[in-house]
């Protein structure tokens, strides 16, 4: 067999998939749903942000998480900085605890996402209590299960641009 041809395929830049996924996640975040099922809406923007931060660390980092969090605050009319603070905190700890891991398998990422979404929802819950906001406790935790179940679909759709 002759010499094997070395692959000189240049990795594609994920800029357009990042922008496209953020736009789609923002549409899914504000898409009108009935009151009964709106509480089960997954945290689409959080999942997209976490995917890009963990799977494309050279392109997306803490500043991306901060900008995405501010964007979510503006989209859902939350107090400015609420989601941004949560996104940045979760991103910092997720990157800190995974920086030594060379191989992030799907199972590893799913466990990290489960922990991250739990911390995010608890963080938002605590801040809303501290700021004296009114909300229903039962509806506050509903996105946890739906986000955990939707993560494999999002991962499957975006895994092409994973490094």
The tokens describing 47, both together, are 């999942």
For residue 95, give the 3-state DSSP assignment.
helix
Asked if pLDDT for residue 17 goes beyond 80, the answer is yes
| Cα gap 107→112, rounded to integer Å | 9
- pTM metric for this prediction: 0.87
CA 79 to chain centre: 19
The tokens describing 108, both together, are 């590893």
Encode pLDDT of 51-100 as tens digits: 999 989 889 999 999 999 999 999 998 889 999 999 999 999 888 877 77
């Amino acid at each position: 067999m002759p010499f094997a041809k070395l692959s000189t395929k240049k990795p594609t830049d994920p800029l357009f998939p990042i922008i496209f996924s953020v736009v789609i996640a923002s549409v899914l975040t504000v898409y009108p749903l009935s009151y009964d099922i709106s509480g089960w809406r997954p945290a689409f923007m959080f999942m997209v942000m976490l995917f890009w931060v963990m799977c494309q660390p050279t392109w997306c980092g803490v500043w991306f998480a901060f900008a995405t969090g501010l964007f979510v605050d503006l989209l859902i009319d939350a107090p400015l900085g609420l989601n941004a603070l949560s996104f940045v905190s979760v991103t910092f700890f997720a990157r800190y605890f995974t920086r030594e891991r060379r191989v992030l398998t799907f199972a590893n990422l799913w466990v990290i996402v489960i922990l991250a979404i739990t911390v995010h929802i608890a963080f938002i819950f605590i801040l809303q209590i501290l700021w004296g906001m009114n909300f229903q406790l039962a509806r506050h935790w509903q996105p946890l299960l739906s986000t955990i179940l939707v993560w494999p679909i999002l991962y499957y759709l975006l895994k092409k641009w994973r490094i």
